[in-house]
Structure 1
Amino acid sequence: MLDRLNQAMEHIEAHLDQRIEVSDLARITVTSEYHFRRLFSSLAGMPLSEYVRRRRLTVAAAAVLAGEPTLLEIAIRYGYTSGEAFARAFRAVHGIGPGEARRTGAALSAQPRLSFRLTVEGNSTMRYRIVEKEAFRVVGKKARVPLIYQGVNPHIVEHIQSIPAETMLRIVGLSDQDPQGVVSATVRLSDGFEEGGDLDYYHAVVTTAGTEPPGDLDVLECPAGTWAVFENTGPFPQALQQMWGDVAAQWIPSNPYEYRPGPEILRTRASEDEPAHSDAQLWIPVARTRV
């Protein structure tokens, strides 16, 4: 997988002055487009589109400083339809416009080329199982919140606290399958994993498809499919967030599964052995790869 990811990076470099199709990158890595976008964003810390934009403007900046023919020609070469559009994008990355950069020789920002290498850590064992699950529903109360990687998400806390106790009792009563009880289900609304990106967050339960829930509750339909279920115990939310990162950075690249569309479902309970810790169970929708 690492070799294929690096081949995809080479493809991007060779086509910065052309249209880069995600389908071509997915074909190089023998994955789906959805999986490639998610895997890239998890490993790189930015969406694929942002990386390509920054690499183009880094290479374009070199052309600007080299005094190549005209700024409009450089703009068109790197996919901008006008000098004004190029200047806006250039300023957003470098802090000054291309004309000023050419005149003053000012210091500019650069997005280095990405390459992926194996880092052997081996400091933890990931407990997981693969579950084939029939279609089901996530039923509860939904809110749109920003993605926050570290620490407690105050927007989620506010949403949970806003749900009346009577409503939560009705939601809990609908739970009829694994994972049992109250869960958190998140649906990412953008291709990337950037901090601050929008999520649809459900404080909810998992229930049988076809069961009609009360009309005041939000429903997310989940088709039949494969789920990778991970478990760990540790301080909340640090251990959970570490597990989420390990799935993307370690488990996915080294196992014959890829992401598929669907919610990520989390079940947490206070640890019986350590009050400050939680037992977490993370359900990730996956599909077995073709190779």
Structure 2
Amino acid sequence: MGWIEGIQNAIEYIEDNLTEELNIQEIAERACISAFYFQRIFNILCGFTVGEYIRCRRLSMAAQELSKADARVIDVALKYGYDSPDSFARAFTKFHGIPPSSARIKGANLKLFAPVKIKLILEGGTMLEYKIVEKAQFTVIGKARRFDTETSSSEIPKFWEEHNKSGDKVVCGMYGVCMDIDGKNFEYLIADNYLPWNEIPDGYETRVIPAGTWAIFPCRGRLPKSLQDVNKRIWSEWLPSCKEYKLAGNYDVEMYTPMQGNPDDYYCEIWIPVEKI
């Protein structure tokens, strides 16, 4: 099964189980990748999180059912996973702009959120620069924080802003390290290399990055755009077309060089652990 086919299998599993309790681990299994990577890839390819997709599809389907005269709000709410008519009404109104009770009115303005279809479209013919490197085990020290995949894209930049304003003398921020916790949550460290003979100050933590093979992708340009652009191309172009390597491990690393301001030629890297197919 190809990589794109795996993602589509996961989406079809979601579609077949919209009225059931959905577990991210079980969804990711249909794509044959970890929940950690599945959620990141899905977000990059689709532009929204797995959780947002499920919520929007359920609310779209609920509206279609409520437009029928014999559908009761409480029955539809329970069918699509809401504990009470009130919580369903709030979500429905936020999504559609009208309350559930108005859905059956003729001409009601209801939003349709269609199922996603994943396709690989090759265009442009530009090559994504990368290299495969073997790295020994290394240890990092830094400030760690737990993030939910649903909200991390907005919260991690705030974490960096907080760090940069703090005047931290222990960690300059050579690395941004993502480490999976349970598929839904992950730990992110703003970190530097750790020397084992140094003390670990209060509030700081160390993490061991295992020895292994890494695909390293250079990013050139102003942050965060250069990093985001390369990250998107890794998951939408490189990974689907790569025939020699597959993802390995539930962690990845951003490597930052010293920065003065935010220059147009700034250099950083994205490191993805891989293994031979």
TM range (shorter): 0.7 to 0.9
Provide the C-alpha distance between the structure 1 equivalents of 2:167 and 2:143, rounded to a whole number of angstroms: 8
Provide the C-alpha distance between the structure 2 equivalents of 1:49 and 1:260, rounded to a whole number of angstroms: 23
Cα distance 1:26–1:205, how it changes in 2: closer, same or farther (>3 A)? same
- Corresponding position: 1:279 with 2:267: yes
Alignment partner, residue 179 of structure 1: none
CA contact (8 A) 1:143 1:159 kept: no
Cα distance 1:114–1:211, how it changes in 2: closer, same or farther (>3 A)? farther
Could you tell me how far 1:28 is from its partner in structure 2?
Answer: 2.2
Could you tell me how far 1:239 is from its partner in structure 2?
Answer: 2.6
Give the letter aligned to residue 147 of structure 1. Answer: S
Sequence identity percentage: 27
DSSP 3-state at the match of 2:257: strand
Could you tell me how far 1:148 is from its partner in structure 2?
Answer: 5.1
Could you tell me how far 1:269 is from its partner in structure 2?
Answer: 5.4
Could you tell me how far 1:51 is from its partner in structure 2?
Answer: 0.5
Normalised TM-score (structure 2): 0.78
CA contact (8 A) 2:144 2:187 kept: no
Alignment partner, residue 160 of structure 1: 164
CA contact (8 A) 2:255 2:269 kept: yes
Cα distance 1:79–1:276, how it changes in 2: closer, same or farther (>3 A)? closer
Alignment partner, residue 62 of structure 1: 64
Cα distance 1:184–1:48, how it changes in 2: closer, same or farther (>3 A)? same
Give the letter aligned to residue 112 of structure 2. Answer: A
Cα distance 1:185–1:60, how it changes in 2: closer, same or farther (>3 A)? same
DSSP 3-state at the match of 2:123: coil
Instruction: Choose from 125, 147, 158 the match for 2:153.
Output: 147
The C-alpha deviation readout for 1:18-71, integer Å capped at 9, x for no partner, is 223333332322222222222212211222121111101101100001223322
Could you tell me how far 1:235 is from its partner in structure 2?
Answer: 4.4
Alignment partner, residue 175 of structure 1: none
Give the letter aligned to residue 54 of structure 1. Answer: C
Unaligned runs of at least 5 residues, structure 2 = none
- RMSD, aligned CA: 3.4
Could you tell me how far 1:107 is from its partner in structure 2?
Answer: 0.8
Alignment partner, residue 33 of structure 2: 31
Alignment partner, residue 185 of structure 1: 176
Give the letter aligned to residue 239 of structure 2. Answer: I
Instruction: Choose from 196, 213, 218 the match for 1:231.
Output: 218
Aligned residues: 264
Give the letter aligned to residue 251 of structure 1. Answer: W
Instruction: Choose from 261, 267, 270 the match for 2:250.
Output: 261
